[in-house]
Structures are given as structure tokens and as C-alpha cells.
Structure 1
Amino acid sequence: MFDTLMKFDKNREVLDFYATDKRATKELLIRENFRETIYEPACGQGHIVKVLEEHGYKVKAEDICYRGYGSKREVDFFTVKENTLDIVTNPPYFCADKFLKHALEISVPKVKIAMLFRLAFLEGQKRYELFKKYPIKKVYVFSKRLNCAKNAEFEKYKSNAIAFAWFVWEVGYIGNTQLEWIL
């Protein structure tokens, strides 16, 4: 399924590999607690995983493209049929909707799913329908820009004009979305 979703754009990194700023994960962990073992299905070079491990979590790390970190075999997240672990990830944006929907559909009740998205992920009629079916529990908006570096080249991409937020779901949650700011 992953192959059919991929659209190539010469200005984008292949498979949307944009490494996550350490600060993003650190800020999430100040605000959220997770189960002892966390699943990172788009681990890239381990930028999120390393911070989770520094904070005492065990991590099941996989990716569709092996980049020297996590499971040595490539795993297409869309082939995973069931999940019992909390998920923390920065998924490929070109398939963000489908990635999220799949995570929600394969996860058992009470699983927490935290995904780093552009703040603009809140927009759109199709997403609104998804959010009605699976209410977002919390959104943590970064007031200062994060640097999600193309191909993990942080030294080359020092700044970013995109607003990001952590979106957190708990499978089975019914209620209003809480919005908080990360200063």
C-alpha cells in the first residue's frame, strides 16, 4: 500500500524523511506519559527513539526504509495488523492521513498515539470527518518553530517557517480536544 501512496516531488526528500528536532520529543515527554514500551513506526535515523530511550522508555523502532537505525528489516507500517503499544512518531507527511487512520484502526483501546504534524493538519473536510470519528485528545502547539531537517541535515537547515504541533489520541477517547501551548 505504501508504494501506491508515494508521490515523487524533486524538492522533497524520498519517502518524506525529515528528521525530528530533539526538542520536539523532549517537550512531549514533559507533558505526556507513555507505556513502558513505545512503537516508533517511522524511526528514520532514530531521532525520536534516542530521546525516548534517554527518558527510560523501551522502543520498538521500524521504518519502511532502513537508515541504519531500528529493526534491520524494512517494515511497511501499512502491513501491521494489530498494535498494543503506545505510538510516538513523525510520520511521512505525504501519507499522514492514511498513516494516522491506520494507527487508530489497528490499535487496541487505551493505546496513546502521538504524532508530530504541521499545525495545518487541523484543516480540511476529510480530516474533520476523521477527527469526528477519532477525537483528538490533546494538541500541543509549538510557539517557537521546530527544525525538522530534510534528510537529517540539521546543519544545512537551521530554521523552519512551518508551525508544528503534537497531536495526541487515546484510542476510544470521547470528548473535547484540549489545546496547550509549548513556549
Structure 2
Amino acid sequence: MTALAKVQTGLGAMMLGGRSKGKAVVGNALVEKVRERQENDFYPTPPEVFEALFRRFPHLAGTRIWDPECGDGVPARVMESHGCKVIGTDLIDRGYGTGGVNFLSVVRPKAGTIITNPAYDKDHPASFIEHAMRMHITEMWLLLKSTYWHAANRQGLYRRHRPKWKLELTWRPDFLGLNRPTMECAWFGWHIDHTRPETYHDLLAKPSMDNLDLFAPDPSGRVVHYRNDNDNDDAKPDLFPGHAATPDIAAKTG
């Protein structure tokens, strides 16, 4: 029997609570399909989402960054490729960073800058923003739905903690790996010194990842951090065609 031909899902509905109903074509029959939310609201972020942010704001490179919902570590590898020292924590241990850490219970920040894709369970991002501001985080970037603030019950939060930046992705990230992404996303950025009554808007183009292999194994079995040649994007528009990423000199031993 032939397998699934088409599936239409509402990722936004799943990531904000509940289940997503869709229609699927199996053989010649049209059937209803209900897609359950991912366990623990884990929707891995494609690496190009973080790469786009770092290309737009190169001042983030080489800094100490806390990813308090680090997931499987893919975003951290992107940030490390830009020379960052990443402190990864998460409520669930997925093999990277320190598991069992509830961000909302942390009293002292582990770095002055936070960059993460927070879980979308219920209105977790609102609690996340409030808690980060109580800790006086210097700079914070959260990946959220582009329309996150389009809700009456979030206007108070917006007035209290107005983001400095909204950078809309010009593509839809494929969180489920189905090649049918549906959700529009944006990076929202806060800075402790931002007191003006406006948010700056811009667009982020989807970066090419062809010249960057973040996950190539080292023959010696060591864990190697790779230098990101995309840091020289302005100087080298055509970045090392067919050239593999270059191992950092200070490789970590396993």
C-alpha cells in the first residue's frame, strides 16, 4: 500500500497548546489526521535560524551566552562556531549541557546574554520574559511566532518589557522536518539599556549553510569546535566553495 502523500498540520496550534488537526491522503482516501504535540514541547530549531541572527549582529560573536533551553545542542554548535562560550541548561536532558535545570527557578544568571528558542507550552514565553527581566539580563534574544504580541492578554507584558528589535525571518523554519513548514517566526531582542518607546523592525534573509559542517566527526574521536567561515561574509561573498569547515586550534579532548 502506498504511504502518505500529503499532510497538512498547524504547527502554531501545537506549539501553543493542544493538538493539530489536518487532512491526509492515503492511497485515494481522504482521512482526518490528528498530530500530537512533541513530547515536552521539543521542536528542534534548524541551525540556519541562529546563523541568520549572528550574521545580522556580529557583536554577539565571541561572547558568553546562556541558552537555558538548549535542547540537543544544535543551536549551541552554531554559536560556538562564532567563538562563543555557550552555557547550556535545560529542564530535560537531551545529551547536551546540564539537564534538570528549570530556568524559571534559577536565581542568578549564568551569563549576561541569553539566546534561545523557548518552549511554547501554554504561555511559557511570557513567564520566561518576566523572569529574565527580574534577573537583569543585559541582552536577550527569543525566537517566537511573528504574531506573538497579537493578543490582548500580552499587551501589559509588551508595555512593561518592550523588545528593542523584531527581526522577521523571510522563510519558515522546518521544525518538524516534513518540508512543509507553516509558521512565521521572528527573533525578538531585548537590551537592558533600551528605554525608548519603539521597537526596531528588520528582515533576516535565510543564510546558506553549504560551507559550514557543524557536525563532522573528527577522525581521532575528539570533540572539535569548528571556526565559522561565514564570519567573513562581507569580505568573501563566495565562501570557500566545496571547502569544509576548519577545525579550531584549541580542540577539546573527549
TM-score, scaled relative to structure 1: 0.85
Letter in 1 for 2:53: L
Distance 1:159 1:41 in 2: 28
Q: Segments of 4+ in structure 1 off by > 3 A?
A: 7-10
Partner of 1:3: none
Matched, 1:98 2:127: yes
| Aligned equivalent of 2:203 | 181
Q: CA deviation at 1:107?
A: 2.5
Letter in 1 for 2:56: R
The answer to whether the Cα contact below 8 Å between 2:56 and 2:204 also exists between their aligned partners in 1 is no
2:39 counterpart residue number: 14
Count residues in correspondence. Answer: 169
CA distance in 2, matches of 1:166, 1:177: 12
Higher helix fraction (1 or 2): 1
Report the Cα offset of residue 104 of structure 1. 1.8
- 1:168 matched residue in structure 2: 189
Structure 2 gap segments, 5+ residues each = 1-16, 20-34, 206-254
Q: How far, CA to CA, are the matches of 1:107 and 1:48 in structure 2?
A: 23
Larger-gyration structure (1/2): 2
Matched with 2:100 is 74
Corresponding letter in the other structure for 1:124: A
Q: Which has the higher contact order (CA 8 A, sep 6+)?
A: 1
Q: Is contact 1:134–1:171 with CA below 8 Å preserved after alignment?
A: no
- Deviation of residue 82 (structure 1)? 2.5
Asked if 1:140 corresponds to 2:167, the answer is yes
Deviation, structure 1 residue 101:
1.5
CA RMSD of aligned residues (A): 1.9
Q: TM-score normalized by structure 2?
A: 0.62
Q: Give 2:136's aligned amino acid.
A: S
In 2, Cα distance between equivalents of 1:128 and 1:8:
23
Tell whether 2:67 aligns with 1:40. yes
* Structure 1 contact 41–89 (Cα < 8 Å) conserved: yes
Which range is displaced more, 135-144 or 33-42?
Answer: 33-42
Gaps of 5+ in 1: 1-6
